[in-house]
Amino acid sequence: MPSLTEANQAGKGRRNDERELVRRAQREDKEAFEELVRRHQARVFAVAGGILRNKEDVEDIAQQVFLKAYFSLKRFDQRAAFSTWLYKITVNECWDLLRKRKVRPLLYEADLSEEQARQYGASEEREEQAQDVSERLEKKQELERLLECLEERDRMMLVLKEVQGFSVEEIAEILGINGNTVKVRLFRARQRITDRVRRRRAAGV
């Protein structure tokens, strides 16, 4: 098992390696940028998935994020971590999309729309599948209803922290707000969620 020092050194090495990749990408080295895309794509998808509604939007936004990152990489001065900078772009792109569409930023919704689910339901041959889909939809809707009690920004913070595992400092940097504000808002958001869950249980839902 690697010791703590070894793990720290490995982490430092990875960071230096990433800095070098960024430097090379800044000199328009496409291979280096491709490697950066490979390393960060999953997290960018996760962040965008936590904010947007559907799969297509997430893919389009993720592509847009990397495109934007590539063309503004020369302006990135490496004072912050590349990943934080990238997630900041992701969050901004998601907000822009939602603002353009003027829809409420809900958390990730089912791959299938309700209409598709109904179509499934109509088909007798796929009765079992339909049941699965409707169950899935029901659970997702339940979750959405639960999260309705939160402000959009708080909802996003909660997803970044409690689902994606971002630290308070990272969230503060991504959203451009104070770390203490993040802590307080997270604390209140969790209180609200718990309160709703308890009330739901008490109502026997």
Partner 1 sequence: MSDRPGKFECERFLEALETTRPDRGAEATAEALLGHVNEPVRSHAGACPDCQAAVEEMAVTRRELARLSEDGVEPGAWFTTRVMGAIRAKENEIEERKNGVWISVRRLAPRLVAFCAVLLVLGGTWALEVRKAEEARQAAEMRPAESVFESGPSAPLNDDVLSISHQEPGQ
Q: Least distance from C-beta 162 to partner 1, angstroms?
A: 5
Sequence-separated (6 or more) residues with CB below 8 Å from residue 65: 44, 48, 86, 89, 90, 93
Terminal Cα distance for the chain, rounded: 47
Q: Which is nearer to partner 1, 67 or 123 (CB)?
A: 67
Q: Which is nearer to partner 1, 63 or 119 (CB)?
A: 63
Binding site residues, partner 1, CB under 8 A = 30, 33-34, 37-38, 41-42, 45-46, 48-50, 55, 58-59, 62-63, 66-67, 70-71, 107-108, 110, 139-140, 143, 146, 158-159, 162-165, 167-168, 183, 186-187, 189-191, 193-194, 197
Q: Which is nearer to partner 1, 5 or 71 (CB)?
A: 71
Query: Phi and psi (nearest 5°) for 73?
Result: -65, -30
Q: Least distance from C-beta 76 to partner 1, angstroms?
A: 16
Q: Least distance from C-beta 163 to partner 1, angstroms?
A: 5
d(CA 110, CA 105): 14
Q: Least distance from C-beta 107 to partner 1, angstroms?
A: 6
Q: Least distance from C-beta 38 to partner 1, angstroms?
A: 6
Q: Which is nearer to partner 1, 110 or 117 (CB)?
A: 110
Q: Which is nearer to partner 1, 44 or 130 (CB)?
A: 44
Tokens standing for 60?
A: 């389009």
